[in-house]
Amino acid sequence: MQENFIVASALLVAVLAADGRRLKRLPRKEKWCYAVLGLAGLYMALLFVSQAPWPNLPDLLHAVYGGPAERLTQYLKASG
């Protein structure tokens, strides 16, 4: 777990060091986009460090699109 924390921290520092100067000059809308993507990245880093069984992106996509996709597959198999 310590290794994962070190890797996630190093990546966060590297991203902030690379984008730090540009981030100050960005318009407000772009800062919001950066913040939203940063929060998603922090969530993924938290999952990586803690190795928690929380929902990941494929799990969320399956929860949203899984049922309709299954029905569509069944419909296509039945009509084919």
Is the pLDDT reported for residue 8 higher than 90?
yes
1 sits in which H/E element: none
Joined tokens for residue 71: 């029905």
pLDDT tens column, 24-80:
899 999 999 999 999 988 988 999 999 988 888 788 889 899 999 999 999 999 876
* Confidence at 4, pLDDT banded by 50, 70, 90: very high
Is the overall model pTM greater than 0.75, yes or no?
A: no
The answer to whether the CB of 44 falls within 8 A of the CB of 4 is no
The answer to whether the CB of 56 falls within 8 A of the CB of 47 is yes
What confidence score (pLDDT) does residue 17 get?
A: 92
Collapsing DSSP states into helix, strand and coil, what is residue 30? Answer: helix
